[in-house]
Structure 1
Amino acid sequence: MRNAAISDALAKAGLVLLPSPVPAEVCPPEGARVDSCSPADGRIDEAVDLAQPDGLERFDEAWLRLATRMGLFAEDGTFLFLLGVTLDPGNEYPLWTPVRLTEHWNVSGHNAGTISGPIGGGLLTASTDGEVIISGTTWQNGTASAVGVPHPYRAEPIRRDSRRTAATTPEAEPQVNLALTEIDRIDWNSYQCGCGRSAAHVADMLRKLVSATTEAQVSRIELSNHVEIQSFPTEVAPAALSVLVAALGEGLHPAARHKIHLTLYFCLGEEEPVMVDGIPVSACEDAARQGLWQLYRDAAAGFEAAALVINRIRGERERLEHFVSRLEDPPKWVESWNFKPKDVDS
């Protein structure tokens, strides 16, 4: 019954469910976050403008090009698709599922403007030998990318997340999620939210954001008008940013990482420093500075908003320009280095 339901859902997208076993050498799904990788890890992007009337079809074509180029398909056309827990509630975690394309198929989904995946829940695929992982990601500027990484076991971001996943097994010491620990430490009722209420609900929003595993979950969390209002930080902003900066060191979903970058960026926009002994002190900027090196890593991995946050931290412009000049394979945002803060949309 379970396999029949899964098979029927996949068939509607033109995918055939196969009974093949999944080799042990394939990267665990929880660690297969190729969007965290950089060109130095071998990352390849195929970008598509989803605003085009045939944007989803163009994405399917881009995914197929990349999949063919990188060797996603086995000789018989088999590859692995990540089946989420929504369709397969009998499993606590998403599972790699062997599938094959039929003559008429789509992996982008049917929701215009976003890559929802063939059955909803996103798009993540891998080769059966574990040598290739390709994901589908929607960006804030209305474009989408098929993002591929070869030899994922060599990519440090994936190795790090895989180690973190392995550390949650019963045999290993439990890992501490610093962001969740920071949420529990703060007395949120002592702060006022930008919406006028107690900031207790902000803690729930932050907890959902740092724990999100899909783009859809991230899209339902809106920090604007709570943590900041039109780039003016609210009373609770410094406390919220201390959580978000702690979260940058965790294995976040790429959409959650991007939202954190934007929240930092907007909070730094119109913050008025307070003079202490003749020295300007900015609580939000100080919080952002605590995550400075992770912001540089994120910028190198292709997150433009991370570079914009760095650019708003006093004294960092020169170092950021030096950093950009030393990138052997700069990400796409470097091409428009003379960007304006007003050009970034939430």
Structure 2
Amino acid sequence: MNPLELVEMEIRRHDWSAMLCGCGESADHVPALLLELAGQAEKGDGIGYDGVERHVVSPADMFLEPSLPVVSVIMAVLASRTPAYSRDAYTQMLLFILTADTQAPVPALRGRDVAAECEAEVRRGLWHLYAEVLSGASIDSGSYAYEILTLLEEDQERLKQLQGTAGERLPWDLRP
């Protein structure tokens, strides 16, 4: 299986050209950025997290039209066999999106609860975050995934069990 096949499939589900991007243009260039980041094996290989995040959430922490589709792409990344660095960048971006403060900066999002929509999308794939923590592939990605779980997981006993099971796969400040 192509490690990016799920990511490519999820990207194709969205009409990126109909969305206004954080850079002020159509978001039709965002899929290429997402695929580039998904294929990166190491920092410096390409665009990096900082090159994508400004297209998704504004500098004032406001949701933009591509926010929800990008969350669905991130969940596809977590379900794929993508390189460790790209997983780090994507889980960091997911945490950044989920902690954005402000709603509806653009007319297309007015009347929508984009934060709740993003959270619902992540909740559908919550087990991928658990797997990311326990994989031990990257302490960074695992810690971002754990922090996301602390925001969304309603079963605090399960979260406590995860923390104990993960042990040294989490950074010292997230361990029990």
State the TM-score, normalizing by the size of structure 1: 0.41
Q: Retained in 1: the 8 A contact 2:8–2:35?
A: yes
Distance in 2 (alpha carbons) for counterparts of 1:336 and 1:328: 13
Q: How big is each residue's C-alpha offset from its partner over 1:218-265, in whole Å with a ceiling of 9 and x where there is no partner?
A: 554522211113443322100111111111111111110011111110
Distance in 2 (alpha carbons) for counterparts of 1:273 and 1:265: 16
Root-mean-square deviation (Å): 2.9
Partner of 2:52: 223
Partner of 2:97: 267
Distance in 1 (alpha carbons) for counterparts of 2:10 and 2:173: 36
Kindly tell me: are residues 283 and 209 of structure 1, through their superposed partners in 2, closer, same or farther at Cα, counting changes over 3 Å? same
Partner of 1:298: 132
Could you tell me which runs of 5 or more consecutive residues in structure 2 were left unpaired when the two chains were aligned: 105-113
Given the alignment of the two structures, is residue 331 of structure 1 paired with residue 161 of structure 2, yes or no?
no
Q: Retained in 2: the 8 A contact 1:218–1:255?
A: no
Q: Retained in 2: the 8 A contact 1:310–1:317?
A: no
State the TM-score, normalizing by the size of structure 2: 0.77
Q: How big is each residue's C-alpha offset from its partner over 1:73-109, in whole Å with a ceiling of 9 and x where there is no partner?
A: xxxxxxxxxxxxxxxxxxxxxxxxxxxxxxxxxxxxx
Distance in 2 (alpha carbons) for counterparts of 1:176 and 1:196: 28
Partner of 2:154: 315
Partner of 1:191: 19
Distance in 2 (alpha carbons) for counterparts of 1:239 and 1:328: 30
Deviation of 1:312 (Å):
1.7
Structure showing greater Rg: 1
Give the structure with the larger strand fraction: 1
Partner of 1:32: none
Length, aligned pairs only:
160
Letter of the structure 2 residue corresponding to residue 268 of structure 1: L
| Greater RCO structure (CA 8 Å; 6+ sep) | 2
Letter of the structure 2 residue corresponding to residue 336 of structure 1: D
Secondary structure of 2:100's aligned partner: coil
- Of 240, 262, 265, the residue aligned with 2:70 is 240
Give the structure with the larger helix fraction: 2
